[in-house]
């Protein structure tokens, strides 16, 4: 199973997201083709209500502990409640280009 699929399945099971995007951004970095090491995750879940962003991120890091420890080099998290997502025009910020990309 791909790392991307593992992330999607774990977050879907734990957070019942209204929206989930797991984007492999490894190609934007100086890694071999086909790598699964750099991800951007956008999660919209009612479970985030009342939680500060740091608590949301800690929850996701806990859920993805195995992947973060052994498989993922970088993880960009964008976490929203459904209301925040609407105010955000249902979009997350673009990731910056890697300075070390050849």
**pLDDT for position 39:** 92
40-88 pLDDT per residue, tens: 999 999 999 999 999 999 999 999 999 999 999 889 999 999 999 999 9
pLDDT, tens only, 80-102: 999 999 999 999 988 887 756 55
Does the predicted model carry a pTM greater than 0.85?
yes
| Superfamily grouping for domain 3-84 | BolA-like (3.30.300.90)
Distance, in Å, from the CA atom of 61 to the CA atom of 85, rounded to the nearest integer, reads 21
The domain ranges of the chain are: 3-84
* 3-state secondary structure at position 21: strand
Nearest one of 97, 61, 96 to 79, comparing CA atoms: 61
Report the C-alpha gap between 23 and 4 in whole angstroms: 8
Which residues are registered as beta bridge partners of 40?
Answer: 23, 76
pLDDT at 13: 98
Q: Which residues are 22's β-sheet partners?
A: 41
pLDDT at site 36: 78
Question: pLDDT value at position 83?
Answer: 97
């Amino acid at each position: 199973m791909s790392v991307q699929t593992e992330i999607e399945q774990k977050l879907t099971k734990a957070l019942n997201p209204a929206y989930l995007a797991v984007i492999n951004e490894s190609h934007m970095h100086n890694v071999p083709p086909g790598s699964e090491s750099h991800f951007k995750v956008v999660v919209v879940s009612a479970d985030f209500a009342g939680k500060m962003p740091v608590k949301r991120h800690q929850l996701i890091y806990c859920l993805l502990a195995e992947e973060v420890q052994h498989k993922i080099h970088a993880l960009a998290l964008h976490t929203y409640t459904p209301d925040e997502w609407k105010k955000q025009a249902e979009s997350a910020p673009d990731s910056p280009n890697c300075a070390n990309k050849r």
